[in-house]
Copies of this chain bind each other. A is one copy, B any other.
Amino acid sequence: MKPNNRPKPSAQKTITDVAKRADVSISTVSRVLNHSAPVSFELEAKVKTAIAEMRYRPQTAARTLAGQRTNTIGLVFAEIGPDFYPVMIPSIEKEARLNGYNLLISVGNNPLQFSDEIPFTLGDHYTDGLLIFPASLPAEEIRRQFLNDFPMVLIQQTPPNGLQIPHLVVKNKNIACKMVDHLIEVHGCRRIAFLAGLNEHEDAAQREMGYRQSLAAHGILFDPELRTEGYFLRKESYEAVKLWLQRGVEFDAIFACDDFSAIGALSALNQAGIRVPEDVALVGFDDIEISRYLPPPLTTVAIPIEELGRIAVQQLLRLIHTGQADLVTEVETELVVRRSCGCEYK
């Protein structure tokens, strides 16, 4: 069965239709739509009735073109990345909506090829401003948007080439250091393996710095053999840990750059009959929802994800409306000690 849904262009109701039906001018309709000027009670009622009866909805493209604004902000994220996006995105949407803005989301780094040669990235012209996630847009594109004076806020990354783009970063280094301190001081770990994250993510690099710093502070030499890439992925992390095990690499703890990597590691450990935390301590980063339900509950670092989203939106809207925003906002993180490091937990 093949239903015919072909859109009939003529079927679309326009502001003119509403005006006709309400027997007023389109200006008046526009006014009640936008509250942009006072309208007599009587006419307003007529217009609203007409709108309701016709199920009229204003056409965004026309509003965008005529007005300056789209009342929409865009969000560009990458396929691979910290998996708290499912939590963060709704929080961003909520804050945007609270301010009368709509949210457009796009998987970046995959510019639609417009007309063969002209990269046609979403965001531009479609939105009043962009929230940009790590590894989602090439530096060149960010630069282009910046030169175009397009409002942007970068999340969990610093601007390329020192451009003056407002950005939010999470406190990674010190807390990572603190977590490794905990492993060393409380649990007596000495050979702590490190599952690094995706290179493009600054977060990953900073977490590694914290790791090395703690090692150094405790007089432990960094052993390259104990470092490998997990790429923020379960599978890679799983394989990496398996490889360590096969090669007989010895370690008494694993610091995974994010919780998902930790889960991959956990699986590999489990499969090899190595108990967590009895034989090997395991810690992650991000505190995604699932982490507390893992067997064992994962020791990790909590990021105030929803707050991060809220602040990002607020900064972006400030930027859009006033042209000003804080160049850098640092968001606090918190060590969440559960059972996977060897501590007691509930």
Residues of A within 8 A of B (CB): 1-9, 11-12, 32-35, 48, 51, 55, 57-62, 64-65, 68, 70, 79, 83, 85-86, 89-90, 93-94, 97, 100-107, 110, 112-118, 120-122, 124-126, 144, 146-152, 164-166, 234-235, 238, 260, 263-264, 266-267, 270-271, 289-290, 292-297, 319-320, 322-328, 346
Contact = CB atoms under 8 A, between A and B. Distances in A.
A65 B61 contact: yes
A160 B122 CA distance: 32
A32 B115 contact: yes
Given A93-B110, A107-B89, A115-B35, A3 B62 contact: no
B102 A103 contact: no
Q: What are the 3 A-B residue pairs with the smallest beta carbon separation, nearest first?
A: A6-B323, A3-B164, A267-B293
14 contacts: A1-B326, A1-B328, A2-B324, A5-B150, A6-B323, A6-B324, A9-B68, A11-B149, A93-B110, A97-B110, A104-B105, A264-B293, A270-B295, A290-B290
A61 B67 CA distance: 11
Given A61-B65, A103-B107, A266 B238 contact: no
A106 to B, nearest CB: 7
Given A234-B290, A295-B270, A104 B104 contact: yes
A264 B297 CA distance: 11
Nearest to A294: B267
Given A3-B165, A115-B35, A151-B7, A263 B238 contact: no
A106 B107 contact: no
B115 A34 contact: yes
Contact of A125 (B57, B85, B151): B57
Given A1-B326, A97-B110, A102-B122, 9 more contacts: A5-B149, A5-B150, A5-B324, A6-B149, A32-B115, A35-B115, A62-B65, A105-B107, A238-B293
B234 A263 contact: no
A54 B226 CA distance: 49
Nearest to A268: B293
B295 A118 contact: no
Nearest to A107: B93
B85 A86 contact: yes
B323 A295 contact: no
Given A107-B93, A266-B293, A118 B51 contact: yes
A216 B30 CA distance: 61
Contacts of A290: 234, 260, 263, 290
